[in-house]
Amino acid sequence: MSHAQQDTHILSLDRVTVTLGQRTFGPFSFVIQPGERIAVLGPSGAGKSTLLKLLARELVPLSGQAIFCQQPLKDWALPDLSRRRAILPQSHEVAFGLPVDLVIGLGRVARMHDPSLASIVRQAAEQACAAHLLGRRFDTLSGGEKARVQMARVFAQLWDVEQGLLLVDEPLAALDPGLQFSLMEAIYTFAANRGHAILAILHDINQALQGFERLIFIKHGAMVGDYHTPHVTLPLLEALYNVNLAAAVTEDGEMIVAPSLKRKAVA
């Protein structure tokens, strides 16, 4: 890694381990650069969400070093951290029937003085295709509408900063394919315009292959691979999930995979 890369990275993990219950996860070692889109793949229970909790600072490292924007992650004050790092959770629910405008505005709570709040809430809603939901109550919305509002909240949180980090935890799994595509495109555009990096926990292999430039593989609580997407092969994916896969290549050269009940005969 060059000196320039070390100076510009958003986040780096160096042999980080973490405990959750009786299990130890890691070591995790990787660097996230501004603007990167990274997907984390692995079977259920492998430690993907644990890694996300570590990056969100919900869990404290047992060993190793986690650096966020040239400062140890553990040393960041939470209000300062929330201005540079946002989380789009798996669940879209909130505790009360809050107005949509307020839910989006919650992304700005770390700012003591925020004269642009109303304008940013409106613009964030527009970018998440949720402007028509302003003025509604959150608990009256459909699942897809709630997903748009939560995305607008994250957009509001990182609206006026550059080179932040967006952590995404399977927020689109229960949505129809068209809506998934629309929302992911909105996330990509928002992040690209500001140099934000995206790290997403995914179960959809094809979404990872087509929308992300790097894939981190996790299995049995440990990191087992870090690949640029064009270098990911069918055998690597089969080994990760212990499943037989069939693959096809689109006209654009993208690989699409699906579970296969029968392994191909060996030539």
Interacting residues of 77 by C-beta distance below 8 A, sequence separation 6+ = none
In a domain, 141, yes or no: yes
Degrees, nearest 5: CA angle 169-226-200: 15
**Cβ atoms of residues 51 and 3 within 8 Å:** no
- Whole-Å CA distances, 120 to 73, 160, 166, 196, 218: 27, 9, 18, 17, 37
Please give the pLDDT value at position 133: 97
User: Which pLDDT score, from 0 to 100, does residue 267 have?
Assistant: 38
Nearest to 209 by CA among 252, 171, 263: 252
pLDDT at position 162, please?
A: 96
- Sequence-distant (≥ 6) Cβ neighbours of residue 255 within 8 angstroms: 209, 232, 234, 247, 248, 249
22 domain-assigned? no
Is residue 16 assigned to a domain?
Answer: no
Q: Give the separation between CA 201 and CA 127, rounded to whole angstroms.
A: 22
pLDDT (0 to 100) of residue 177:
80
Is residue 231 included in any domain, yes or no? no
136 occurs within a structural domain: yes
Q: What is the CA radius of gyration of the chain?
A: 19
Strand partners, 214: 38, 228
- The Cα 197–Cα 72 span in angstroms is 18
Residue 95 within a domain: yes
Q: Does a structural domain hold residue 147?
A: yes
Tally of structural domains, the chain: 1
Cα distance from N-terminal residue to C-terminal residue, the chain: 40
Report the pLDDT value the prediction gives residue 95, as an integer from 0 to 100. Answer: 58
Dihedral sign (CA 71, 73, 75, 80): positive
Are 111 and 83 in contact by the 8 Å Cβ rule? The answer is yes
Per-residue model confidence (pLDDT) at position 266: 43
Supply the range of the domain harboring residue 146. Answer: 89-160
User: Does residue 133 belong to any structural domain of this protein?
Assistant: yes
Question: What was the pLDDT predicted at 218?
Answer: 97
3-state SS assignment for residue 105: helix
Is the pTM here over 0.85, yes or no? yes
Q: What residues in the chain have per-residue pLDDT under 70?
A: 1-7, 91-95, 171, 173-174, 262-267
